Amino acid sequence: MLVDFNEAVVAKYQNDRLSEKASPKTINEEVGFLLRILGEPGDLIRVRLRKKKMLKLKTREVIGKAYSEDEKQRMLAEAAKARSPHIYLALTLALNAGMRDGEIKQLTWAQINFAKQYLAVGRAKTAGGEGRTIPLNSELFAVLTNYVEWYKQKFGATKPEWYVFPFGSPQPTDPTRHVTTLKTVWSNVRANAGVKGRWHDNRHTLITELAESGAGDQTIMDIAGHVSKQMLKHYSHIRMEAKRSALEAIVRKSSAANESQQGYPQKSPQSPRNGGKTPKSGHAPEPTENAIARKNGARDCSESPDFTQHFEGEYPQKSPQSGIFEGTRGVVMGRKSLKRIGSSGRTRTYNPSVNSRMLCH
């Protein structure tokens, strides 16, 4: 039977499915699948619909959330009181292993290694998630151990090929088939706990907590089964508390550094090493060589002697701002012109600098 499939048919199909309460995302996936089946005619229709902006229906972007610690505890408390034997373990798996709904329902005992405390995910939504291994933390391992005891009492054993969540309602009866849905009991748990959100938000919560704890991107992707960092960003919802704590950590680090620096002895602004005055004490300080030299220099200024000094070899270098020579450091020369005999044997006369004269007044 041949059907004339064109743009009008696609538009009618979209409207009919919307009237059936199908989601825009689902309809877009169905239309894309049909166009791929048609081959080249489908490619032509796709191009025409894209030009008319009719290829895909607008989808409502669902923004996930991360449950708070209080919300988690309230939901777990309600799950523990529920009639369903599945919901408490299923919720614990979602919050501590980040497993998707389908991965949880299809879990078998063969995928769980109790000796090494890890589980291996079977069929998954993405290629990156299939076959990944997830360690069992202490909380999940304890809940799983209690569940095993109930399971053995109910079915007598835990055969590798049997499903962890057996089929049956209201109580499980067939371990060779897996449970089909947990929607009803999940809705009741959420309502009784006073929490708004989706089942998939349990997965968002774990990934967010891992990101806030400082786990690396590769570690998170290995646990969650993502294949790209872009998808990881979609799931991670760094909460305001974590952002605030990260910023406060910088302040604490800076304060600790300042306190450690204050622990070292500081130079006193009045210490002689810093150019300050020597603190006064009850005992007069002993005169130093420099002090004696300065005292003698002052006496020389008043007497202003005239003398000639002979040097052999190289002529000593003169300090730029004083009459003190490197060869005679610590001795202040007189105000009058000095006569010296250089290496050539001639007598040379030098006038002290202005600053050096000022020292005598």
| d(C-alpha 183, C-alpha 81), whole Å | 17
| d(C-alpha 187, C-alpha 136), whole Å | 26
**How buried is residue 200: exposed, middle or buried, by Cβ count under 10 Å (0-12/13-18/19+)?**
middle
**Residue carrying structure tokens 């550094």:** 257
pTM: 0.56
> What is the torsion angle, in degrees rounded to the nearest 10, for the CA atoms of residue 134, residue 139, residue 140 and residue 145?
130
Q: Where is average pLDDT lowest: 122-136, 194-208, 237-251?
A: 122-136
- pLDDT score of 356: 46
Kindly list the distances between the CA atom of residue 212 and the CA atoms of 74, 237, 246, in Å, as whole numbers in the listed order.
22, 9, 9
- pLDDT score of 118: 95
Spatial neighbors of 69 by CB under 8 A, at least 6 apart, are none
Counting other chains too, the contacts that 323-331 makes at CB distance below 8 Å and 24 or more residues apart are 323/352, 323/353, 323/356, 324/356, 330/289, 330/290, 330/293, 331/293, 331/296, 331/297
Please choose, from the candidates 139, 141, 90, the residue with its C-alpha nearest in 3D space to the C-alpha of residue 117. Answer: 141
Cβ distance 208 to 236 under 8 Å? yes
- pLDDT score of 317: 46
135 forms beta bridges with: 118
Q: What angle do CA 97, 183, 126 make, to 5 degrees?
A: 45
What is the tens place of the pLDDT at every residue in 245-289?
A: 778 888 888 788 777 776 555 544 454 444 444 444 444 444 444
Spell out the domain ranges in the chain. 7-51, 69-242, 289-358
| d(C-alpha 203, C-alpha 224), whole Å | 8
What is the tens place of the pLDDT at every residue in 212-226?
A: 888 888 888 889 887
| d(C-alpha 177, C-alpha 172), whole Å | 10
What is the tens place of the pLDDT at every residue in 311-356?
A: 444 444 444 444 444 444 444 444 444 555 555 555 555 555 544 4
281 forms beta bridges with: none
Q: Where is average pLDDT lowest: 37-41, 152-156, 184-188, 240-244?
A: 240-244
Q: Where is average pLDDT lowest: 21-30, 282-291, 307-316?
A: 307-316
- pLDDT score of 21: 85
- pLDDT score of 272: 46
Q: Which CATH superfamily is domain 69-242 in?
A: Intergrase catalytic core (1.10.443.10)
Q: What value does the mean pLDDT take over residues 103-125?
A: 89
Residue with more model confidence, 10 or 331: 10
Tell whether the model's pLDDT for residue 153 goes beyond 60: yes
**How many C-beta neighbours within 10 Å does residue 27 have?**
20
